[in-house]
Amino acid sequence: MNQGHPVWSHTKIDIVIPAAPKDISVLPHTIEGARQNIRHPIGSIAVVAPDDPKIRALCKRYNCAFFDESGVVPIAKNKIDYTVNEIDRAGWIFQQLIKFSGNIVCAEEHYLVIDADTVFIRPNAFKENGKTVFHYADEYHLPYFVAYERLLGEKPVSPKSFCTHYMLFEKTKVAQLKSTIEERFHIPWYEAILQHVDRTHTSGFADYETYGNFVLSHFPGQAVMKYWNNLSLTRSKMNKTIQTDLRKLASKYNTVSFHSWNK
């Protein structure tokens, strides 16, 4: 299938994979899928996770840089109070703050964040004619857009969702997003996000939604949008999928996700 964008970009990038112990079984495939299918010169692959010996060992085995998440985000996970219907979502939103902290772990201006449960199975490039390629998904979760309007004081401009389990960020644009939030509320960017999360929902903020809409609004003409072509499969099917089905799936999909909740 012709996606209409090149399968190679000369823009050098780093890759950031926020991870948790529950992702151990998928993470090797995520790393290898990125190496094989992200068609950019890749500087480093950084795994940002709790200080877990198994994750450290995996990073060493797959030649990735390991970063203890506690040194990446300016607030400790245990200081985040975000519980909805007795469900603790502090870890979930902490990972989103990691994605806005690529300046801590990356040397390159551009960094591609990939969720640890999502595997690239065919070639993709995220710069086209000097523009960032954003993929868009099928979902529409209203609280994400409400949170954006609360934070930025403007309505999101995209009718489509950027929540595709990966996104190319630029440090300078992320820095401008943070400074815009800080100038609006006169508190650190991460505190503003935590204060304006929709706490009536277990998913009350979206990093990808926020950054994507900010770029479209504040840097017009600097991005193009493409459909994501993702398939979600159960983790019980992961080994069979990786071993026997990838070639067939790659004719239709960019990525396959093995979410921990999809057993």
Q: What CATH code is carried by the domain that includes residue 117?
A: 3.90.550
Q: Does residue 5 form part of some domain? A: no
According to the model, what pLDDT value does residue 263 have?
Answer: 60
Contact 246, 119 (CB under 8 A): no
Q: Does residue 210 form part of some domain? A: yes
Q: Does residue 73 form part of some domain? A: yes
Q: Does residue 223 form part of some domain? A: yes
pTM of the complete model: 0.94
Q: Does residue 3 form part of some domain? A: no
pLDDT over threshold 50, residue 19: yes
What number is the average pLDDT over the span 214-226?
Answer: 98
pLDDT over threshold 50, residue 1: no
Please tell me the total count of domains within the chain: 1
Q: Does residue 49 form part of some domain? A: yes
Q: Does residue 69 form part of some domain? A: yes
Contact 135, 160 (CB under 8 A): no
End-to-end CA distance of the chain: 30
Query: Over the stretch 7-17, which tens digit does the pLDDT of each residue have?
Result: 799 999 999 99
Q: Does residue 96 form part of some domain? A: yes
Q: Which domain holds residue 234?
A: 13-257
What average pLDDT does the structure give for the chain?
94
Query: Over the stretch 130-165, which tens digit does the pLDDT of each residue have?
Result: 999 999 998 889 999 999 999 999 999 998 999 999
Residue corresponding to tokens 């609004």: 217
According to the model, what pLDDT value does residue 2 have?
Answer: 45
Structure-block tokens of residue 113:
């964040």
